[in-house]
Amino acid sequence: MPGALDGVRVLDLSRVLAGPYATMILGDLGADVIKIEAPGGSDDTRFWGPPFQNGMSAYYTAVNRNKRSITVNLKSAEGQETIRRLAETADVLIHNFKTGTMDQWGLGYEALSRLNPRLIYCSITGFGETGPLAPLAGYDYIIQAMSGWMSINGTADTGPLKVGVAVTDVFTGLYAAIAIEAALLAREKTGRGQKIDLALFDCAVSALVNVAANYLLSGDVPKPLGNEHPNIAPYSTYEASDGPIVIAVGNDRQFQALCSLLSDRSIGSDPRFQTNPSRVAHRDELNRRLNEEIRRRTRAEWQRLLAEKGIPCGPVQTLDELFRHPQTAAREMTVTVHHPTVGPLKLVASPLKLSDTPVSYRLPPPLAGEHNGEDAPGWQSSPAAENSRHDQVE
C-alpha cells in the first residue's frame, strides 16, 4: 500500500540527530530519502559507540532506516554539480550545515530554487540564520543549557541537569517534519516551494510550553523541582513497597478519590489540601504524608486501586521492563529490519498509526555510499572525491 508521502523525493544532507530524525519520519511515511554524505561516511553517529552490531552503531540505526545512501564530495565542483542535478527533480532538501556554508558552495536556497522553483529547502542550525548567534554551531547539550531547559531540571541539591535524551534535537526533528509536510501542502495551492529556517534554540524555547508561560505571566524565574510539577499537586514520584511509582492527580475530584484509598483519612479533610493552588503551596507536607501511605502497598496494588478510581499512575520502569511490557508489544513498538551485511537489526518502530496509508519499513539503515551508481536523475557517485568531513551541527 502506498505511503502518505509516496512519490516525494527528499535529499538528506543532514547529520547526527535532528535532520536524520525528520527524514526518517518522512521515509517511514513513504518518501524516497537519499542520504548524502562525504566519501567514507561523514555522519558522526556512524562512529558513536559502543554498542555496535557488525560495525554499525546503535545510535546511527536509531534514525536512519528507509534511506538510500550516496557519497558526494560537496567541496568539489563535481560534487556541487551532482547536488544541483539531484535538486532539479527533488521535492525536499534538508541540511544542517552551519549558516552560510551551503551558500558558499553555491547550494543555498536562492541558487537551487532558481533550478527548481518547487523545491522545499529546510535549513537546521543551532541558532537560526538571523541574530547575533547565527554563526555558531549548536549541539543539544549547549542548547539545553542556553534555552533554560537545564535550569528547570534537577533539584536544589543536584543543580542543573540535562534531559537524558537529546530532546532539543528531537523537538527540532519533529518541527522539521511538520514544516516540510505543511510546505508540501502549500505547494499544492501555490505551485512553489519555500525555505524553512529552523533553529534548535527556537524549538527548545517553544517546547518549554507551560513553564515559559508561567514566567511570562508572573515574572517569577522557575526553579528546578525534580519530579514535581510547577502547577499541580500531588503530581510526583512516590515510593511504594517495591519501588517508585508516579501518581498524577489532575483535579480536586481525583485528589479526594486518592484520599479515599488512604489509611490516614485526615489528609483528605485537611484544609490546606482542599484546592490545587493550596496543595501546590503546601506540597512538601502533602508529599511527606502521602509517601507514608504509598509505601504500605506494592506498585501493582496501587496501579489497580488508582485505575479503578480513574487516577493516572504508572511505575518508573527501566528499559528492560519497558520492552518486555505487554503494552509495548500490543502497540508494535519494535520492528526488526534486515541488512545484507549487518544482519537483523531490532529498532524502535514508528508511533504513527495511519489507517489508510500506514508507515512501512522498506530499507535498513544504509552503509555509507551503499547505493552509489543506482539509476536516478542526476545521480552519480563522485569518483574524484577525496575523503572529507564537513562542519555540521548536531
**What does the pLDDT average to over 151-163?**
94
- Banded model confidence at residue 374, pLDDT cuts 50, 70, 90: confident
In the predicted structure, residue 393 carries a pLDDT above the cut 90:
no
pLDDT class of 387 with cuts at 50, 70, 90:
very low
Are 60 and 48 in contact by the 8 Å Cβ rule? The answer is yes
State how far the Cα of 43 lies from the Cα of 61, in Å rounded to an integer. Answer: 12
389 has pLDDT over 80: no
Percent of the chain with pLDDT over 90: 92
- pLDDT of 2: 87
User: Cβ atoms within 10 A of the Cβ of 142, count?
Assistant: 18
pLDDT above 80 (res 25)? yes
Specify burial of residue 293 (Cβ count, 10 A radius: 0-12, 13-18, 19+).
Answer: middle
Per-residue cell: 75: 567541496
- For residues 165-192, average pLDDT: 98
Q: C-alpha grid cell for residue 389?
A: 568531513
Q: Is 37 helix (H, G, I), strand (E, B) or coil?
A: strand
Q: What is the mean pLDDT of the chain?
A: 93
pLDDT(258) > 90: yes
Please determine, for residue 51, whether its predicted confidence score (pLDDT) is greater than 80.
Answer: yes
**Joined grid coordinates for residue 362:** 522498506
Helical packing angle, 18-28 and 167-190, nearest 10°: 50
Q: How far apart are CA 259 and CA 175, in angstroms?
A: 41
User: What pLDDT, on the 0 to 100 scale, is given for residue 348?
Assistant: 97
Model confidence band, residue 83 (pLDDT cutoffs 50, 70, 90): very high
Q: List the grid coordinates of 386.
A: 577525496
Q: Report the alpha-carbon distance of residue 37 to residue 29 in Å, rounded.
A: 22
Q: Give pLDDT, residue 375.
A: 58
258 vs 252: CA distance, rounded Å: 10
Residue 199's DSSP bridge partners are 125
* 340: amino acid identity, one letter: P
Residue range 264-273, pLDDT digits in tens:
999 999 999 9
- pLDDT of 176 over the 70 cut: yes
Q: Report, as residue numbers or ranges, the catalytic residues.
A: 169
Closest to 8 (Cα-Cα) out of 20, 25, 17: 25
pLDDT(92) > 60? yes
pLDDT-based confidence at 391, cuts 50/70/90? very low
Predicted pLDDT of residue 385: 30
Instruction: Kindly state the average pLDDT of the residues 82-90.
Output: 97
d(CA 151, CA 161) in angstroms, rounded, equals: 7
Q: How many CB atoms lie within 10 A of CB 65?
A: 23
CA dist 140 to 143, 274, 305, Å?
Answer: 5, 41, 40
Rounded to whole angstroms, how far apart are CA atoms 297 and 260? 15
pLDDT in tens, 60-71: 999 999 999 999
Grid coordinates in use for 263? 489509611
For the chain, give me the number of helices (H) and strands (E)? 16, 15
pTM of the model: 0.90
pLDDT by residue (tens digit) across 291-337? 999 999 999 999 999 999 999 999 999 999 999 999 999 999 999 99
For 229-239, how does the pLDDT look when each residue is reduced to its tens digit (9 = 90+)?
A: 999 999 999 99
